[in-house]
Amino acid sequence: MSFKFSKRWIEDKELVTQLIKRVFDETGKSEKFVHKIDKDVTLFREGDVLNDIYILLEGVVVLHKKKPKTDIDYPVIRLEHGSLIGIIAFTTGKPSLTTAITTEPSTVLKIPDLEIRSLLERDDRMKEYIDEIILANLSDRFKTNISLQMKLDSVNNKLRKERNELKKAYQDLKEAQDRLIYQEKMATLGQLVAGFAHEVNNPTASLLRSTETLENRISELMKQNDREPDKQSFVRSLYESGKKSGYPDTATLRKRSSELRKEFEGAKASQIRLLAQIPPELLSNFKSMTNNPEEMDIYLQYFELGKMFQNIESAGNRISGLVKSLKSYSRTDTDKEWELIDIREGIHDTLQLTSNRIKYYDIQINLEEVPKIRANPAALNQVWTNIILNAADAMGKNGSLDIYCTAEDDHIRVRIKDLGPGIPEEIIYNIFDSNFSTKKSDVKFGLGLGLSISRDIIKQHGGTISARNDPDGGAVFTVTLPIRK
Amino acid sequence: MSKVKWAGLILGLIGFCLPLFVSFPGLSLAGHFAMSIFLLAAVFWMFETIPIYSTSILVILAEVILLSSQGFIDYSSTSYSPLSYTEFLSTLADPIIILFLGGFILADASVKYDFDKSMTRYLLRPFGSRTSMMVLGLMLVTGFLSAFMSNTATTAMMITVILPIVAKMEPGDPARIGMALSVPFAANIGGMATPIGTPPNAVVIAALNQQGMEVEFSSWMIYAAPLAIVMLLIAWQILIRLYPPDMDAISLNLEGKLKTSTGALILYATFAVTVLLWVTESLHGIKSAIVALIPVAVLTLTSTFQKEDIRKLPWEVLWLIAGGISLGIAMKETGLAEWMVGAISWDQFGYLALLAVFATVALTMSNFLSNTVTASLLIPLAITLVTSGILQGTAGMMMIGLVIALGSSFAMILPISTPPNAIAVSTGMLKTKNMITAGLIIGLIGLGFILLLSMIYWPYLI
Amino acid sequence: METKIYILVVEDEPEVLDAIVRDISAFESHFVIEMADTAEEAREIIQSIFDDGNQIGLILCDHVLPGDNGVELLVEMQHDPQTESTQKVLITGQAGLDETVRAVNEADLKHYIAKPWEKEKLVEIVKDQLTEYVLEHVSNPMQFMAVLDGERIAEQIRKAKSVTDN
């Protein structure tokens, strides 16, 4: 198909428009079809069935489309002179897809359907002109489409990039928040520990001191008791042996009990149990009492008295020791965070406090003498705790721990090895990452932050922390700390 | 098996064999066999080598084998006309057994619907909260209930009532002991009041029936209930004085209502009707054993009492009674009883002394043996006293019967004397020595009272 | 048949074991108390008790023990027909929720006592558990009335008629 007019016609809508205008003028029909329109006037609405063809001769018309589910008209195409408005609707007869609104005072050629037909019949030129215009418009639209696509693409890319950046920023934020919560938690815990340690020290002290006094008084009382001298010394020795008695294990106790049951027929089970813990040299005095259980009870009570004191004393001391370790571990009794410390103390404190988890493990401790370094003891203790508890989790109820430290040139090396299943190869490079965790809900230091926080702490000290699997089985964590004063 | 039981086994077998190898002059062949059975039963019952109800069945079996016309022994050339085996077997369905069956069903149904418990709560209310009055209340209610229900079940129920009370007392309060003793004593005494109160009564009544003497439900009550009531009061006073309470008043939670389900209502109605009919036997003449079938029929046909409940009835007690009855038959029919009685010259004894002897023997034996067994062993001898003319007539028979039945129930001394005693001691609220002291006193007073009644009361009624 | 009923206490810390046994010594009038400090020892004791023809009415078990832990022992006992009827009680300061749930679901745990315990509470629980055991597995529970729940036993006698007039 060739066009009468050269290519330039298609691009120069102005020219075409003028020609069409001229045709109309010549045929004298212009007044009827040429309309001068103000700006902001709606030519037709979306959904209208168009019976006229519109050709914009001068001005600007913007096509609008309703945004879905709203009543807002959204501008989609800007048409200038030479444009055919409502082509699709006109040619297909379907309702208009857009709403046409003038944005400047404009001149429009509005030709009704019937007129077009008669015009086309009358004047061959008209047909050609119209064809040209339609084509120009369509190619225009097409060009616009392509450039819009390209713009869309680049916008999408930009958006995608931005979204990724946002995601990462969000992750970072979340981590920072978690860390803050964790630190907050630790801080609160630290305060509670301090308060607790302080509070419990008082009753513990009172307990131990009162027991000592009590013990003294009872000794005095026993001396003054009006008793035959040999019975007196018997009573005393029962009491003293009670204080030192300790606890034989149940198997020994059982064996001794069954021996004594034969010797002391008729004695109650509770009496036999006590007799089994009394040193054999004192038992002969009891033989004479076998037929008098009430008398036996009285003397056994002296033994029990001694035992009870031993209990109280040992329990009191244990509490005392635990509290000391707790305080030392959390270093809540000093104002300074960084001190010159011997890290071995912290390792011992940690072992004491985690003893409940590791008490049945085979533990080898080989801590060579190391120089004191400037460090944050509470923080370092967190690291030891984290590693040891991880090992305990991995090993379950049976296992072994090997803790070793040594000084090398300018740094201290601490090595903690367990005999668990080791760290799976696929995750061994990620374990120090934040939010990495294989633990389930039963976490105390959890949130998956344990090892990553440990790494941060060690980094703060200028040191390094690493993990590997030992060829003999189990995981080995190595921490190096530079010797800084 | 413990040494005691082994001893019992050996002695029992020796006893069984003895009359088979030794000939006792004046005793018929059948009498010898009867003696074998008697000795075996007595020893086995005493030593509890096998369960006592087992011995009872053994007695019946032995009698069928040795003394019945279908047995192995040919009596054609002797003076003993062997009874049909049905005579021995039918003791298992003796009217007295049926009477007791009726009593058992009423009792078990009462337990099932907690009738006994609700009745207790209701009846205890008027007694207030003063400790001494509360003990009286407990004893009267226990006595009343045990007259119609098994002494043991009544005791078990009462123990659950007093445990909370006792828990509030100080550990050293004597009233704990007093209260703990009051329950079994009252249960034992209360059981004397009616024919169905306790199994020894059954054995005695059956034996009297064998002699042609009918004992009406109401008649027994007239003879025995006064004794029971007076002894309850006396026992109460003795316990209060022996173990005066430290606390003057105690509170008891007597909450609880009567159940009103259909089954419960049927039970109440049946219970009332049955007891009414029993008590008025002299007016309408329907035998108490027949009346006893009414609760059996009514409670089972209304499914108030179901198959599982029927299974749990104490059938072994019925067997125990049956064994005692059949032993009496054997001893009477074979002349063993007469022979045994004849061995002692009773005419030296005065009438009263005779009663006293039997009462004492019954009391003593029953403290060590089951009451029912005591009655089973003594009543054939006692009755023979009458039939051989040593004691006079129907009055004498009734009285000796009463003496034995009531004497057998006065076993209050040891934990093993009666199951209620054992339960009370198991609670740990009292020591055996407490029971011995109180039981001895009450037992002796009871003995005296029985003799008193046989002098001034029974002769005018019977 | 005079079988004895045992109470087994399993605890690895000797002072605590001693304290528990002392607290429940009143029950020794009618029961036998045995002690073990590991699950392994407990198993041996259990076997010898049954070999002697006796029974185990109650086990008071700590959870943290050297070797196998308490809950495992209890679950094992639940699956063994001999010890299935034993009343199982945990007395511990250290059993997590998962382990406790396992004990309840797989070992028919009757009670959980947290350390430190009060003597009165412990005695009450032991009395309760032994009463339950005795009512179900002893034909004549009357003999235990003095040391166990007398009311419940008396009620059982009343309703089940395990003792009758004679």
Which pLDDT value is given to residue B350?
A: 78
Which pLDDT value is given to residue A444?
A: 41
Tell me the chain A residues in contact with residue C33 when contact means C-beta distances shorter than 8 Å. Answer: 269
Interface test with C, best of B116, B316, B426 (most C CBs within 10 A): B426
**Integer Cα distance of B19 and B37 in angstroms:** 9
Specify the range with the lowest mean pLDDT, choosing from A218-232, A238-252, C30-44.
A218-232
pLDDT at position A17 over 80: no
pLDDT at position A402 over 50: yes
Report the DSSP pairing between strands A42-44 and A84-85.
Answer: unpaired
Type of residue found at B290: I
Which pLDDT value is given to residue B212?
A: 87
pLDDT at position B266 over 70: yes
Confidence of residue A18 (pLDDT cuts 50, 70, 90): confident
Of C41, C66, C98, which has the smallest distance from its Cβ to A250's Cβ? Answer: C41
pLDDT digit string, tens, across residues B177-226: 999 999 999 999 999 999 999 999 999 999 999 888 889 999 999 999 99
Report yes or no: B51 at the C interface, CB cutoff 8 Å. no
Average pLDDT of the residues in B251-268 = 85
**Integer Cα distance of A144 and A139 in angstroms:** 9
pLDDT at position C29 over 50: yes
Which pLDDT value is given to residue A441?
A: 36
Confidence of residue A440 (pLDDT cuts 50, 70, 90): very low
Determine phi and psi for B68, rounding to 5 degrees: -95, 165
Whether B and A touch, i.e. at least 3 CB pairs below 8 A, reads as no
Domain segments of chain C: what residues? 5-118
CATH class for the region spanning C5-118: alpha beta
Which pLDDT value is given to residue B152?
A: 93
Tell me the chain A residues in contact with residue C32 when contact means C-beta distances shorter than 8 Å. Answer: 269
Specify the range with the lowest mean pLDDT, choosing from A363-377, A392-406, C73-87.
A392-406
- The sign of the CA dihedral A371, A373, A378, A380 is negative
Asked if B49 contacts B12 with a C-beta cutoff of 8 angstroms, the reply is: yes
pLDDT digit string, tens, across residues A145-169: 898 899 999 999 999 999 999 999 9
Which pLDDT value is given to residue A418?
A: 92
Contact A249 C14 (CB under 8 A): yes
Which pLDDT value is given to residue A281?
A: 85
Q: What is the 3-state secondary structure (H, E, C) of chain A?
A: CCCCCCHHHHHCHHHHHHHHHHHHHHHCCHHHHEEEECCCCEEECCCCCCCEEEEEEECCEEEEEECCCCCCEEEEEEECCCCEECHHHHHHCCCCCCEEEECCCEEEEEEEHHHHHHHHHHCHHHHHHHHHHHHHHHHHHHHHHHHHHHHHHHHHHHHHHHHHHHHHHHHHHHHHHHHHHHHHHHHHHHHHHHHHHHHHHHHHHHHHHHHHHHHHHHHHHHHHCCCCHHHHHHHHHHHHHHHHCCCCCHHHHHHHHHHHHHHCCCCCHHHHHHHCCCCHHHHHHHHCCCCCHHHHHHHHHHHHHHHHHHHHHHHHHHHHHHHHHHHHHHCCCCCCCCEEECHHHHHHHHHHHCHHHHCCCEEEEEECCCCCEEECHHHHHHHHHHHHHHHHHHHCCCCEEEEEEEEECCEEEEEEEECCCCCCCCCCCCCCCCCCCCCCCCCCCCCCCHHHHHHHHHHHCCCEEEEEECCCCCEEEEEEEECCC
Strand locations in B212-345 (E): none
pLDDT at position A443 over 50: no
**Strand-pair partners of C7:** C33, C58
Report yes or no: B108 at the C interface, CB cutoff 8 Å. yes
**pTM more than 0.80:** no
Determine phi and psi for B75, rounding to 5 degrees: -105, 15
Tokens for A198, please give them: 């302080």
Which pLDDT value is given to residue A326?
A: 79
Which pLDDT value is given to residue C72?
A: 93
Round the average pLDDT of chain B to a whole number and report it: 91
pLDDT at position A442 over 50: no
- Name the minimum distance, in Å, from the CA of B225 to any CA of chain C: 20
pLDDT at position A9 over 80: no
CB atoms within 10 A of CB A212: 14
- Name the minimum distance, in Å, from the CA of C103 to any CA of chain A: 18
pLDDT digit string, tens, across residues B91-145: 999 999 999 999 999 999 999 999 999 999 889 888 888 888 989 999 999 999 9
Ranges of H-type helices in C33-165: 39-51, 70-79, 97-107, 119-137, 150-160
Which pLDDT value is given to residue A436?
A: 61
pLDDT digit string, tens, across residues C77-98: 999 999 999 999 999 876 778 8
Tell me the chain B residues in contact with residue C166 when contact means C-beta distances shorter than 8 Å. Answer: 52-53, 199, 317, 320, 370-373, 418-419
**Integer Cα distance of B448 and B11 in angstroms:** 35
pLDDT at position B34 over 70: yes
Report B:114-173 residues touching C (Cβ under 8 A). Answer: 150-153, 156-157, 159-160, 163-164
Q: Could you tell me the CA-to-CA distances from B345 to A277, B150, B360, B383, B390 in Å, in that order? A: 69, 39, 18, 16, 10
Specify the range with the lowest mean pLDDT, choosing from A17-31, A234-248, A324-338, A339-353.
A17-31
**Coil, helix or strand at residue C81:** coil
